[in-house]
Structure 1
């Protein structure tokens, strides 16, 4: 019973930011508080490399205000502890980020869900008609040298 009360008491003492105006206290705090502050400030989802990544400790010399521009300080503090934040989609800066301790690793790939739908009967006529219309459009766009001809070169001269 004492361990449950102690765990609940310590859990309530954790300085998890609740809004963009929150202030993280000075001292030693878990990295998870910085990660949740960054996620709250940038309004982007953060996925950790492992479940124990947030348990690492970081030392703040003075209270850190989570407000506009604080994201740069948070990223600097995370990098000083050896934690990198990488976008999951390399071409998108805004979107979910991956927190990792290995700067050379790549974020996990997305897993697509494929659903198979069984078809009893498909009427081929509408599809064939669409293909005929598309073939006619492309045939009209052909240049004069792209059109098929009946010219057969002379096998002796090649002309």
Structure 2
């Protein structure tokens, strides 16, 4: 039994050409007084601000096919300018840190049980920017698929 949760590398491991990289970039700044998060869509990139105590994570980008994990300072400036037009409290914000990550994206996340050659494989990848949000649910689904394949009850974490 194999669980394939290899992120972007599943493109090669599972021979899945529908999986592609999308780079996201964000900036850490001092919190200007934000108490609730917000997300603005409709532009070239989604923009957001997530307060985390004394700092805020603001972003973002959605760069199709970009594999470079190194944050770009010019992109950070663009993010800060765009966020400041949405929420004026961010005007003049200075970066405390830059973040970038490669998100494995498919048209629809792949969470399924397959019988391949001489083994059983549970695939779980392609969630894109929602991977963190969907992790608990897909982990429960994977546990259920493993239980059905082995005939053993799924372990639970008490939730």
Normalising by structure 1, we get a TM-score of 0.22
Structure of higher CA gyration radius:
1
Normalising by structure 2, we get a TM-score of 0.22
Higher normalized contact order (CA 8 Å, seq sep 6+, divided by chain length): 2
Select the structure that is richer in helix. 1
